Amino acid sequence: MTNFLDWDAVDLVAALRGGQLRAQDVMQATLGRIAVRNEAVNAIIDLRPADTLMAEARAADEATSRGALHGVPLAVKGLADVKGTRNTEGSPLFADRISTRDARFVGLMREAGAIFIGKTNVPEFGLGSHSYNPVHGVTRNPYGAGYTAGGSSGGAGAALACGMVALADGSDMMGSLRNPAGWNNVYGFRPSLGYVPREPGGDTFWQQISTMGPMARAPHDIALMMQVLAQPNPRVPLNMPKQSWDLSGQTTLNGTRVGWLGDWGGALPMEDGIIDLCQGGLSALQALGAQVTPMDAPYDAEALFQAWSDLRAFALAAEMADMFEDPTRRARLKPEAQWEIERGLAMQARALHQACVTRARWFETAADIFESCDVLALPTAQCWPFPADWDWPKSIAGVDMDTYHRWMHVMVPVSLIGVPAISVPVGFNAGGLPMGMQLIAAKGNDVALLNVAHAYHEATRWPQKFPPNIQNA
């Protein structure tokens, strides 16, 4: 009989609601597993005191159910505010900062009954897909301790893979939900922009290139978390309408049209074996009835990357300029953060306008493609998880990477236009390191995409069949 910590989140919630499990039993088991497994990966940081957590679990058992996550232990990504806990964002500038409020999405999870046990590790300010920082150290891959778990939601991905949490939140600006999901053999879902509205207080009109989203070991768990997170907010301008996130439970994909983009017509260098594993994932879709068709590159890859990198630099500079303009604080920022801010502050209006135009034209092009295609597919990464002591890979397949994020180019087509995408596991290389594949749909077709992922999951069940080789607990 499997340990209930390895159950799907929907089954764990059902057992808590039905009285087959108590929240205090789940919490005690969770803390025990963290004690045994977290040292190997350093995924959970700022763990709250056990006595406090057990008291909160007992209170949950004694209370009327508050919602979809009642009694479920969760660790929030280390970039978000959780009232009364430390929020360092991985920066020594904020090593002692205590949050005085919950971020809106954290408040939604709290209202749904979640119990917050701590945080999950991230890169400094969430920059780069490798979760290391000078405050909390590096998060390591559960499938190979010498390698990265990805990022910026790397702590979340590793914690899920290790069964230290059943659900996780994350955020995705360039690929921070999808990349670590692929590298930890779990699922990461970037929803359509507007389903999880931006946090009030900053620029909520123009800056629409990042979003919150869930990570899990099964697509129906993703849907469970979306029921909680996808709440329109009248205080911000971009909202998608509220809807049901109930999945159909379909196990076939008859008639589903999948366009395979591969390496984007040769524009994206890929390490050996990645395309082959993704084609294996496509074969699984075909076996379920999907029609898979290879596609030519639909847009100039370099134009997309240029637009993306300009918009990203502009957004980051706007948010971080105060730190950069103080010489003492600037010296404590990671070099990649300084580079982004400097680029953004120097940007000309014409370059910014051109980036916006490229973004608009690509959205139009993608919309046309989705008239004759239900799902697009791309690899989740262009390289395998790299050594944990690297900052970022300097070359892929013999091609030099000219920026710290160029190696994530494969994420840009989705991130630039805010359409939904889910990273699904596709297997492992000869060294046992995982890889994923992005499945992408038209904006607003999030539930239909999750139904495709659910059918794929029922046929493959990669996370359940191949857990990491961590000490048994």
| Positions marked active-site | 77, 152, 176
DSSP-based three-state secondary structure for 280: helix
Maximum CA extent, the chain:
62
DSSP per-residue codes, 318-387: HHHHHHHHSHHHHTTS-HHHHHHHHHHHH--HHHHHHHHHHHHHHHHHHHHHTTS-SEEEEES-SSPPPB
| Secondary structure E strands in 165-287 | 167-172, 187-190, 211-216, 257-260
Dist. CA 69–CA 76, nearest whole Å: 14
Dist. CA 78–CA 89, nearest whole Å: 6
**Residue 398 to residues 283, 297, 304, 389, Cα–Cα distance (Å):** 29, 21, 22, 20
Q: Residue 211: beta bridge partners?
A: 172
Dist. CA 6–CA 3, nearest whole Å: 6
At position 149, the amino acid (one-letter code) is: A
Question: HSE (CB half, 13 Å, CA atoms) of 92?
Answer: 9
Burial label for 346, CB within 10 Å (0-12, 13-18, 19+), is exposed
Helices 301-325 and 349-369: angle between axes, nearest 10 degrees: 140
Question: HSE (CB half, 13 Å, CA atoms) of 452?
Answer: 32
Which strands sit side by side in the sheet containing 375-379, from one edge to the other?
A: 167-172, 211-216, 187-190, 421-428, 434-440, 375-379, 257-260, 291-294
